[in-house]
Amino acid sequence: MKKYNFTVLIEKDEDGIYVAKVPALKGCHTQARSLEEIYPRIREAIKRY
């Protein structure tokens, strides 16, 4: 299986929700209430992209 490395930008919005985006993959993003939740979610979003 080939491995890729992507830059992931994580920001916290005004409501306290974390939003993760992958700039290299247009439209690839997710959100969660904690950092512990955001990491597996963004990995899954990248896999599905």
The 10s digit of each residue's pLDDT in 13-33 is: 999 999 999 999 999 999 999
Asked if the model's pLDDT at residue 1 lies above 90, the reply is no
Asked if the model's pLDDT at residue 41 lies above 90, the reply is yes
Asked if the model's pLDDT at residue 12 lies above 90, the reply is yes
Report helix, strand or coil for 4: coil
Print burial letters for 17-46: b (CB count within 10 Å at least 16), e (below 16): ebebbbeeeeebbbbbeeeeebeeebeebb
Asked if the model's pLDDT at residue 6 lies above 90, the reply is yes
Query: 45, 29 in Cβ contact below 8 A?
Result: yes
Asked if the model's pLDDT at residue 47 lies above 90, the reply is yes
- Report the side by side order of strands in the sheet with 18-21: 9-12, 18-21, 29-32
pTM for the full predicted model: 0.86
